[in-house]
Structure 1
Amino acid sequence: MTTYRLDVPELYARLDDLRKQASMSWRDLGAHLDVSPSLFSRVKAGHRPDADALVTFLAWLNLDVAYVTQPDEPAP
């Protein structure tokens, strides 16, 4: 069975694109989604959001998880 991992840079890019389209600051988006604005800084730095935040992001982006995941590379 193939395992998958979250493509954090892709998630951040999609959040950033839609945030800009909505003319929102990161602080505005955090308030809108009821998450800490610092969470976006952590995601930008490559840290994975917790499961609840990920589901919130995907709902706001109107995305299926398949759009921000990729198959994990098998261990050598």
Structure 2
Amino acid sequence: MAYAPKDLSVLAYTNGFTLWHYATQHDLTQVDEPGYFDGASDALHIGDQITINAGGRNAFRFVEAVDSRAGTVCIGKPE
């Protein structure tokens, strides 16, 4: 299954930074696949944080790169 825009919502926005929440029944390994969030390339920005609830697991991810013209998003895990 793929990214669902209705499952992504803004928790907070300030000074160009957005804290997002994404809830899905998908397994976290699916959500971590490259390109999963490509459908949100028009909304996500470098440095944004996504709190993810996926398949009973919780995780934080960060937006590392966005190319809205190509429709791609690169998500990274915290170090």
Common fold by TM > 0.5: no
TM-score normalised to structure 2 length: 0.25
Structure ranking higher in strand proportion: 2
Say which one has the larger Rg: 1
Higher relative contact order (CA 8 A, sep 6+): 1
